[in-house]
C-alpha cells in the first residue's frame, strides 16, 4: 500500500478548496476542541458564520451531525453526534485520497490545473439560507407547471411548484434525492396555529435564535425532527408576534418560492 501524501508536501498546482471542505474542517475542529467558538476562532470564522455552517450541514444530513448541549458561556454548547464523528472520519480519509490523486494528476497531465479550475466552477454554491435534502414522494404535472412533494425527514414535507420543463431537466421522479432551497426573506412567520393562508408549506417549531439588527431580525426555528428554518423579518414583526427563544412559531413558505436542485 502506498503511503499517504504528507499534508506539508505542496501540490504541483494550487488547489482551491470549496465551502463544503471548510465546513467539514469545522466539524473536525469542533470534535477536537469540544467548542464551536474555539473551532470558529481557529478557522478565522465568526461564531455566527460557524453556527450557520453547522445548521446548513444538519439540514442536509439524513441524521444530525452536531447536537446542542445545555450550559456553557453562551447558554449552550455543542458536540458531534456519533454519526457526525463517522462523517468526519470518512472526510479525513477522502481528503487524504483526494490530495494523492490530485498530486498524481498534476504530475502526469501538464495542463490539468486549467481543466480542474473549470470543473470546480460546476460546484453548486447558493445564497439561500435554507437548504433541505429530501426525497421526492410525488410529482403531479399540469398544463405548464408541476407540483413536486419532497419528504425532508422528521415528518415534514415541502411542496414546490416548478415548470414541467424543470421536472424533466432534473429527472424528478418519486425516490430521487433533491435539494429544496428557500431564501430567508421568503419565509413568513406566524404564531397563530389556526391562521388560514394560501401558503402551501407550514413548518412549525421552536425559536432557537432571534437576533435583531438595525431594521430586520434573523429568526431560526428548530423543527421537531431537528431541521432548522431561518427567516428574515422586521424588528417590529418580532415584537408584535412576541418572538423569543423558546416560543412556538410556524414558518409559511409559498410553493412557488421553493427552488429544487439535484446533485450531478
Q: Hey, what long-range contacts does 33-41 have (CB within 8 A, 24 or more apart)?
A: 34/77, 34/79, 35/77, 35/78, 36/66, 36/77, 36/78, 37/74
Q: Which of 187, 173, 195 is nearest to 231 (CA)?
A: 187
In a domain, 101, yes or no: yes
Helix (H) or strand (E) holding 98: helix 82-108
Q: Tell whether 204 and 233 lie within a shared domain.
A: yes
In a domain, 104, yes or no: yes
Q: Given this model, what pLDDT does residue 213 score?
A: 94
Q: Tell whether 206 and 245 lie within a shared domain.
A: yes
In a domain, 2, yes or no: no
In a domain, 10, yes or no: no
Positions of the chain with pLDDT under 50: 1-19, 74-75
In a domain, 1, yes or no: no
Q: What is the pTM (predicted TM-score) of this model?
A: 0.70
Q: Given this model, what pLDDT does residue 200 score?
A: 94
In a domain, 14, yes or no: no
Range of the domain at 146: 130-180+257-261
Q: Given this model, what pLDDT does residue 116 score?
A: 66
Q: What CATH number does residue 112 fall under?
A: 1.10.10.10
Domain boundary among 72, 91, 120: 120
Q: Tell whether 23 and 61 lie within a shared domain.
A: yes
Burial of residue 194 (number of CB atoms within 10 Å: 0-12, 13-18, 19+): exposed
Q: What CATH number does residue 147 fall under?
A: 2.40.50.100
Q: Tell whether 32 and 116 lie within a shared domain.
A: yes
In a domain, 125, yes or no: no
Amino acid at each position: 500500500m502506498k503511503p499517504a501524501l504528507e499534508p506539508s508536501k505542496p501540490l504541483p498546482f494550487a488547489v482551491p478548496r470549496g465551502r463544503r471542505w471548510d465546513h467539514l474542517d469545522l466539524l473536525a475542529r469542533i470534535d477536537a476542541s469540544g467548542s464551536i467558538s474555539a473551532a470558529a476562532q481557529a478557522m478565522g470564522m465568526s461564531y455566527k458564520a460557524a453556527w450557520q455552517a453547522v445548521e446548513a450541514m444538519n439540514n442536509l444530513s439524513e441524521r444530525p451531525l452536531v447536537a446542542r448541549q445545555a450550559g456553557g458561556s453562551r447558554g449552550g454548547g455543542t458536540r458531534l453526534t456519533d454519526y457526525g464523528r463517522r462523517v468526519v472520519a470518512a472526510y479525513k480519509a477522502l481528503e487524504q485520497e483526494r490530495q494523492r490523486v490530485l498530486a498524481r494528476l498534476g504530475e502526469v497531465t501538464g495542463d490539468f490545473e486549467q481543466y480542474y479550475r473549470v470543473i470546480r466552477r460546476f460546484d453548486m454554491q447558493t445564497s439561500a439560507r435554507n437548504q433541505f435534502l429530501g426525497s421526492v414522494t410525488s410529482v403531479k404535472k399540469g398544463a405548464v407547471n408541476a407540483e413536486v412533494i419532497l419528504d425532508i425527514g422528521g415528518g415534514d414535507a415541502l411542496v414546490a411548484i416548478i415548470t414541467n420543463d424543470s421536472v424533466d431537466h432534473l429527472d424528478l421522479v418519486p425516490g430521487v434525492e433533491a435539494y429544496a432551497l428557500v431564501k430567508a426573506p421568503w419565509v413568513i412567520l406566524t404564531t397563530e396555529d389556526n391562521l388560514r393562508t394560501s401558503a402551501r408549506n407550514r413548518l412549525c417549531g421552536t425559536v432557537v435564535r432571534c437576533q435583531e439588527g438595525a431594521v430586520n431580525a434573523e429568526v431560526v426555528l428548530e423543527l421537531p425532527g431537528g431541521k432548522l428554518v431561518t427567516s428574515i423579518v422586521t424588528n417590529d414583526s418580532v415584537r408584535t408576534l412576541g418572538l423569543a427563544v423558546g416560543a412556538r412559531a410556524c414558518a409559511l413558505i409559498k410553493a412557488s418560492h421553493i427552488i429544487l436542485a439535484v446533485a450531478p
